[in-house]
């Protein structure tokens, strides 16, 4: 992610300004540029640290995703399909009828 950065701390430090008859105070400009240089250096450090964190998090995410994929595929292999999964509707209806007969007995058919 390379942003189009035109200035660096070194570029700011090395910049020379021409002076005119009624120009700016050179000391004031230098002090201000020193503050800008310090900010740029701080920003560069923060940016580098954030890039490292991003890379670390990307690697952790890849690891977690691969572990999730591996564990879910293993779980699918380990879970046996239930015995009733192959039953047809007719088998289920027969079982229900037998249960009703057992629970309610002859009262159901009176």
Higher pLDDT, 32 or 53: 53
Task: Give dist(CA 43, CA 8) in Å, integer.
Answer: 10
- Can you give the pLDDT at residue 1? 47
- Is the Cβ–Cβ distance between 101 and 108 less than 8 Å? yes
**Is the whole-model pTM more than 0.95?**
no
Burial of 107 (0-12, 13-18, 19+ CB in 10 A): exposed
Specify the pLDDT at position 39: 85
Give per-residue pLDDT as tens, 6-25. Answer: 777 788 888 877 777 777 77
């Amino acid at each position: 992610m390379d942003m189009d950065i035109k200035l660096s701390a070194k570029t700011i430090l090395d910049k020379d300004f021409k002076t005119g008859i009624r120009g700016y105070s050179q000391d004031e400009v230098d002090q201000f540029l020193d503050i800008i240089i310090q900010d740029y250096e701080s920003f560069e450090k923060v940016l580098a640290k954030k890039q490292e964190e991003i890379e670390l998090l990307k690697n952790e995410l890849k690891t977690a995703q691969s572990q999730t994929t591996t564990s879910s595929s293993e779980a699918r292999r380990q879970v046996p399909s239930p015995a009733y999964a192959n039953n047809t509707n007719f088998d289920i209806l027969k079982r229900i009828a037998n249960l009703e007969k057992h629970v309610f007995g002859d009262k159901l058919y009176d």
